[in-house]
Amino acid sequence: MNLDKLARRTVLDIKPYVPGKPIQEVKRDLGLEEVYKMASNENPLGPSPRAVEAIKETLGDLNRYPESSCYYLKNKLAQFWNLNPENFIIGNGSDELIILTLRAFLNPGDEVIVAHPTFLIYALASRIEGAKLKIVPMKNFKYDLSGVLNAVTSDTKIIFIANPDNPCGTYVTDSELDDFLNHLSQDVIVFIDEAYYEYVDHTSDFPDSLKYIHTRPVIVTRTFSKIYGLAGLRIGYGMAHPEFIKYLDKVREPFNVNSVAQIAALNALEDGDFIHRVKELTLQGRAYLSKKFEQLGLEYINSVTNFILVRIGENVDKLCRYLLENGIIVRNMKGWGLEEYIRVTIGTDIENRKLVRLLANYFKKEVEP
């Protein structure tokens, strides 16, 4: 059956997003018993234990629809970030907030500006919603915000900034963001995606982006998928002016966030010890892997996140295949147009060391894991 004539025109040329391979699939396909996934920037320590405990008590209520307003979670988040519950929208993953923002604000002919390379969903969702897409290349794997300003026209509606960026792992500083917003029209929406916020060293010059939401059409998003370890439940949140939130609420499904995810997120927020442990493990693992990449003679981009972009050179497919056959999934960055790179998620100590051992073998280098 050919449905091209029926399909929405903006969808005809869309290539579906290809996620990292799941562990079970690799085990099945390659007959492996043990597989480490270092590909999708997930939490290698598992979910927040407090969240898991809390979920158990809610399972008897699964016959009921979830609370549409996410009342308790919004109140908890409001306390946590010193905002009002009206400043929040909860999404089925922070991914959904990208889609809702486009759906609520984009008119035919409007332009969206995204960087390259960055999180692929911005461009994908913008294309589906019929945006005219403008792509501003990164400079040395960092946002070129003056390039973004130069690309703005009277048709520009939304600018996406991942801070820190995925896959680069770099960040826009407070003075860079401030300067950028000072030069940008108040009529342009800035979507600041802080999915990796919790991994950043906040004594650094990383921006306090929440200060902008009160006076500008800025939305800041965060997620429970990363440091809180709840990727499988799909829950994230956005913070913006209540008027901005009202528009997102108009276009969201009434029950977009399931009840288990709401309870889990609320409890994960309070799981301070776990969050601390994940952060420590990530920082140690990041320092370890960075040092080992250097010893292996591999270029990498300095990261403030739970992943590192690493330059392999030619034949990335061959290396990825070798790692996969030996039980490690990393992300081949071809899909991003980065032909020579892989992205490695920081794992546990055992996972990181196994990766280094395999890389040393592959490149025939004498490097102690």
Ligand X SMILES: Cc1ncc(COP(=O)(O)O)c(C=O)c1O
Cα(114)–Cα(295) distance, integer angstroms: 34
Instruction: Based on the shown chain and the rule CB under 6 A, indicate whether residue 223 belongs to the binding site for ligand X.
Output: yes
1 Cα distance to chain centroid? 36
Instruction: Based on the shown chain and the rule CB under 6 A, indicate whether residue 119 belongs to the binding site for ligand X.
Output: yes
Residue nearest to ligand X as judged by C-beta position: 93
Among residues 39, 88, 95, 240, which is the contact residue for ligand X, using CB under 6 A? 95
**Span 65-94, contacts to ligand X by CB under 6 A:** 93-94
What binding mask, one character per residue, do residues 22-41 give for ligand X by CB under 6 A, x or -? Answer: -------------------x
Among residues 225, 256, 262, 267, which is the contact residue for ligand X, using CB under 6 A? 225
Cα(134)–Cα(125) distance, integer angstroms: 13
Least distance in angstroms from the C-beta of 265 to ligand X = 11
Instruction: Based on the shown chain and the rule CB under 6 A, indicate whether residue 193 belongs to the binding site for ligand X.
Output: yes
Q: In residues, how long is the chain? A: 369
Least distance in angstroms from the C-beta of 121 to ligand X = 7
CB-wise, 255 or 318, nearer to ligand X? 255
Least distance in angstroms from the C-beta of 303 to ligand X = 12
User: Interior CA angle at 16 toward 92 and 167, to 5°?
Assistant: 70
Q: Is 176 helix (H, G, I), strand (E, B) or coil?
A: helix
Least distance in angstroms from the C-beta of 211 to ligand X = 21
| DSSP code at position 142 | B
Instruction: Based on the shown chain and the rule CB under 6 A, indicate whether residue 262 belongs to the binding site for ligand X.
Output: no
**# binding residues, ligand X (CB under 6 A):** 13
Is the Cα dihedral 337, 342, 92, 7 positive or negative? positive
Least distance in angstroms from the C-beta of 357 to ligand X = 27
CB-wise, 230 or 281, nearer to ligand X? 230
Both structure tokens of 74: 């919004």
Q: Classify residue 352 as exposed, middle or buried by CB count within 10 Å of its CB (0-12, 13-18, 19+).
A: buried
**Span 294-323, contacts to ligand X by CB under 6 A:** none
Cα(201)–Cα(216) distance, integer angstroms: 26
Cα(306)–Cα(199) distance, integer angstroms: 7
CB-wise, 240 or 358, nearer to ligand X? 240
**Span 129-168, contacts to ligand X by CB under 6 A:** 162, 166
| Integer CA distances (angstroms), 105 to 11, 187, 190, in order | 19, 11, 12
Q: Is 296 helix (H, G, I), strand (E, B) or coil?
A: coil
CB atoms closer than 10 angstroms to residue 35:
19
Instruction: Based on the shown chain and the rule CB under 6 A, indicate whether residue 47 belongs to the binding site for ligand X.
Output: no
CB-wise, 23 or 296, nearer to ligand X? 23
Residue numbers at the binding site for ligand X (CB under 6 A): 41, 93-95, 119, 162, 166, 193, 195, 223, 225, 231, 236
